[in-house]
Amino acid sequence: MRHRIAVVGGGPAGLTFARVLYRHDHPVTVLERDPAPDARPPGGTLDLHEKLGQLALGKAGLLAEFQALSRPEGQAMRILDTDGTVLRDWQPRPDDGANPEIDRGQLRDLLLGPLDVQWGRGVTEVVPGTRDGVLVRFADGRQETFDLVVGADGAWSRVRPAVSSATPHYTGVTSVETSLDDVDTRHPDLARLIGDGSMAVYGVNRALVAQRNSGGHVKVYAQFRAPLDWHTNLDRHLDLDDVEAVRSSLLALFDGWAAPVLDLLRHGTAFVHRPLYVLPVSHTWAHVPGVTLLGDAAHLMPPLGVGANLAMLEGAELAESVAAAPGPGDLDEAVRAFEEQMWARAGRWAKITAAGLERLVSPDPTEALALFDEVQPS
């Protein structure tokens, strides 16, 4: 039996789900709000863990292609003191395949492959339990029904209200993101400072992280504890679209840090304001037949290197269960069992990442170093 299945969202969760179903020859409708794959910048690099994201890619039959694209050297991690002293300089072995990095755009294209995504189809509402199944309403006024609707539509999911009243709340940490292009030729000193992977500097309630992507592109994240409306509480209201004003504010916030570290902000090309939101730790819901959630829609957590990994593994696991479910009753049982498994694993990671954020952007910067020493293999 072929269930009518829709997945809302073409991020890591939705695309992995669809790609594994495709491998099992099961039809799936992929509904994505963006009008095209490259409608907005894809975001920074992702490290895919052997037992999470890479496992999912194996289930999609894409592991070899991932290995050809990914950057094992990108696992390198350097930690500096705010005065520029190198405190840790961890390098992976050449054959270390534990957590190689891949650009999000490359991962998206790898997962997209032969999939027939419906672009520009923003979902506004999902209504379970109608006579013909689960009703999906679209921003353009159209509607369609399915046997199963999977919400893989990220932090501000429009599918989530069909199963849960939970909404994301602010962590107290804000991230302002900037980037540098062609770093090896334009900023060779910064290229050396960052190395092959990531570089992080931890101060009192502040962190500055630079991550190398492919092609000499570097993403820089300035993170700090602040009220959500910090930019309206300065001497003068800060216009977040005014690049030079944001740069000056950040340089003032990180005042006293070593000049080469601050050069990451001085040379940044544009700034994107991203307050960090999370869903409640161990978010679950009473099972609703015909609707479920994956990835950030189900368990948004601080960005500590695991969200996309979980999203992908969940997508792959749910797809395998759905493809193996012959009748409508089996489909619902498969989804129930999947949810139990997802909640248990995501709950553990939500606790770990919540505690991690407390220590990485902390009044005591030695906590960040201690955390690094606990998790980094020697």
Assess 72 for contact with ligand FAD (CB under 6 A): no
Assess 317 for contact with ligand FAD (CB under 6 A): no
As measured in angstroms, the least distance from the Cβ of 378 to ligand FAD is 22
Stretch that binds ligand FAD, among 65-73, 304-312, 336-344, 364-372 (CB under 6 A): 304-312
Assess 149 for contact with ligand FAD (CB under 6 A): no
Q: Which residues pair with 202 in a beta bridge?
A: 207
**For the window 28-67, what string marks contact with ligand FAD as x by the rule CB under 6 A?**
---xxxx---------x-xx--------------------
Measured CA to CA, the distance from residue 342 to residue 313 in angstroms comes to: 9
Assess 290 for contact with ligand FAD (CB under 6 A): no
Q: According to CB under 6 A, which one of 72, 290, 307, 365 is a site residue for ligand FAD?
A: 307
Q: According to CB under 6 A, which one of 3, 5, 6, 14 is a site residue for ligand FAD?
A: 14
45-73 in b/e form (b: 16+ CB < 10 A) is: bbbbbeebbbbbbebbebeeebeebbbbb
Stretch that binds ligand FAD, among 56-64, 69-77, 86-94, 149-157 (CB under 6 A): 149-157
As measured in angstroms, the least distance from the Cβ of 314 to ligand FAD is 8
Element (H, E) at 310: helix 307-323
CA-closest candidate to residue 10, choices 39, 46, 44: 39
Assess 308 for contact with ligand FAD (CB under 6 A): yes
Q: Could you list the beta-strand ranges (E) of the chain.
A: 5-8, 29-31, 45-47, 77-80, 86-90, 101-103, 117-118, 123-130, 133-138, 143-146, 148-151, 169-180, 198-203, 206-212, 218-225, 272-278, 291-293
Cβ contacts of 363 within 8 Å, gap of 6 or more: 204, 205
Stretch that binds ligand FAD, among 25-33, 110-118, 192-200, 319-327 (CB under 6 A): 25-33
Is 174 exposed, middle or buried, given 0-12, 13-18 or 19+ CB atoms closer than 10 A? buried
Stretch that binds ligand FAD, among 5-13, 59-67, 317-325, 344-352 (CB under 6 A): 5-13
Assess 267 for contact with ligand FAD (CB under 6 A): no
Q: According to CB under 6 A, which one of 5, 7, 30, 123 is a site residue for ligand FAD?
A: 123
- Assess contact for 46 and 342: CB atoms under 8 A: no
Please report, as ranges, the residues that interact with ligand FAD according to CB under 6 A. Answer: 8-14, 31-34, 44, 46-47, 122-123, 152-154, 158, 221, 295-297, 303, 305-309, 311
